[in-house]
């Protein structure tokens, strides 16, 4: 068919143009592939444009040479002051109970009232006890007169020994009855057993109470004491009369002196009980939770330079040519710009300095 009818010139030209376009597109794709291969080869070989910064070292990647100074966590032996928890208390701290049944007639003190030893706190109704006391006094007085006359008559030889002994016995019984009546009356009057301050009140006017019911709580304000258990390693370096420091819950401090100490070590806990008394003039209220600083103890602790731990308590640990971020718990400051590591690091581990 083509041999009989050859293609027109215009159609032939169009065919050549299409072929040329296909060749151009193929060349452009080939160039693009060559450029991509060259870029990949450049990246693989470490080539980068001038002025491009190196990426930072991240946890889990190898640490480049010279990227930071390595330090080692080591152990040090320290003489540190003992810091022992305690709670302040006083010797005289007691609940005041009703010692007789009756109705509360009057209350003479309230919460926070300071009282002296023997001061009246409350009264129970005492009409019956007062009557019984008056009767006992009258009988005692009557028998006293009789026994005195009986003794005079016995001396004169007028009465027999049997009559004299009978009167003496009755007088002795009257004396005991008077003491019992006086005690029953006194028990209707509740008094302070020692000087202090009223720290609790459950008594209410007009309330019927039984013997043993709680009425008040009375607490002495001094002396203030603290009992601590000192570990055996430091126990016998502490002597009676030595002073220590007491730190309160809000940072307040007071001085204290050792007044008592157990002569033996408790085998169950391996500690020695020591009692301290706050020095006069230093006031912390009884019942406060405090820390007692007394004596010293020898401890081996893990220490690292202060700039090896970040502000948030993280350290960059170097291990097997790799770094990892680890959280650590720090203790107190140590000499030489070092810090104690309570947990998170073991002796011998290497760290990267984070400071300048």
Q: Could you report the per-residue pLDDT of 308-335, keeping only the tens digit for each? A: 888 778 888 888 778 888 888 888 778 7
CB 308 within 8 A of CB 68: no
Q: What is the pLDDT of residue 17?
A: 34
Q: How do strand 350-352 and strand 314-319 relate by DSSP bridges?
A: antiparallel
Tens-place pLDDT, residues 230-269 = 988 888 778 889 888 999 888 888 899 999 999 999 999 9
Exposure string over 48-87, b if 16+ CB within 10 A, otherwise e: eeeeeeeeeeeeeeeeeeeeeeebebeeeeeeeebebebe
Burial level of 319, CB count in 10 A (0-12/13-18/19+)? exposed
What average pLDDT score do residues 128-143 get? 95
In 3D space, the residue among 233, 230, 264 whose CA is nearest the CA of residue 244 turns out to be 230
Tens-place pLDDT, residues 29-78 = 333 333 332 332 333 333 444 444 433 334 444 444 444 578 888 888 77
Q: Report how far residue 189's alpha carbon sits from residue 119's, in angstroms, rounded to the nearest whole number.
A: 10
Counting residues of the chain whose pLDDT is more than 90, the rounded percentage is 41
When pLDDT is cut at 50, 70 and 90, the band that residue 15 belongs to is very low
Q: What is the pLDDT of residue 282?
A: 67
Counting residues of the chain whose pLDDT is more than 70, the rounded percentage is 79
**Whole-structure pTM over 0.75, yes or no?**
no
pLDDT over threshold 80, residue 1: no
Q: Report how far residue 248's alpha carbon sits from residue 340's, in angstroms, rounded to the nearest whole number.
A: 24
Q: Report how far residue 59's alpha carbon sits from residue 316's, in angstroms, rounded to the nearest whole number.
A: 8
**In this structure, what are the phi and psi dihedrals at residue 265, rounded to the nearest 5 degrees?**
-95, 135
The lowest-confidence range among 130-134, 283-287, 296-300 is 296-300
Q: Report how far residue 272's alpha carbon sits from residue 64's, in angstroms, rounded to the nearest whole number.
A: 55
270 φ/ψ sector (left φ>0, alpha ψ -120 to 50, else beta): left
Q: What is the pLDDT of residue 14?
A: 36
């Amino acid at each position: 068919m083509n041999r009989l009818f050859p293609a027109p010139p215009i159609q032939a030209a169009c065919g050549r143009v299409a072929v040329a376009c296909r060749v151009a597109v193929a060349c452009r794709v080939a160039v693009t592939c060559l450029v991509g291969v060259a870029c990949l080869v450049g990246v693989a070989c470490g080539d980068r444009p001038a002025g491009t910064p190196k990426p930072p070292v991240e946890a889990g990647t190898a640490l480049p040479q010279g990227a930071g100074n390595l330090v080692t966590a080591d152990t040090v032996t320290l003489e540190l002051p003992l810091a022992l928890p305690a709670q302040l208390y006083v010797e005289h701290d007691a609940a005041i109970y009703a010692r007789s049944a009756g109705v509360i007639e009057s209350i003479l003190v309230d919460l926070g009232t300071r009282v002296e030893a023997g001061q009246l706190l409350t009264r129970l109704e005492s009409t019956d006890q007062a009557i019984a006391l008056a009767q006992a006094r009258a009988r005692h007085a009557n028998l006293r007169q009789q026994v005195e006359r009986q003794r005079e008559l016995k001396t004169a030889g007028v009465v027999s020994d049997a009559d004299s002994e009978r009167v003496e016995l009755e007088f002795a019984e009257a004396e005991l009855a008077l003491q019992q009546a006086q005690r029953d009356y006194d028990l209707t009057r509740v008094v302070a057993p020692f000087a202090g301050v009223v720290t609790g009140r459950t008594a209410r006017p007009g309330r019927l109470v039984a013997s043993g019911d709680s009425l008040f709580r009375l607490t002495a304000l001094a002396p203030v004491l603290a009992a601590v258990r000192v570990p055996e390693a430091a126990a016998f370096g502490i002597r009676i009369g030595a002073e220590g420091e007491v730190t309160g819950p809000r940072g307040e401090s007071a001085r204290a002196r050792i007044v008592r100490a157990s002569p033996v070590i408790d085998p169950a806990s391996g500690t020695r009980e020591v009692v301290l008394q706050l020095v006069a003039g230093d006031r912390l209220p009884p019942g406060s939770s405090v820390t007692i600083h007394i004596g010293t103890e020898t401890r081996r602790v893990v220490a690292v330079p202060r700039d090896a731990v970040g502000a948030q308590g993280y350290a960059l640990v170097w291990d097997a040519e790799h770094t990892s971020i680890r959280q650590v718990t720090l203790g107190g400051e140590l000499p030489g710009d070092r810090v104690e590591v309570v947990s998170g690091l073991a002796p011998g581990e290497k760290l990267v300095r984070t400071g300048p």
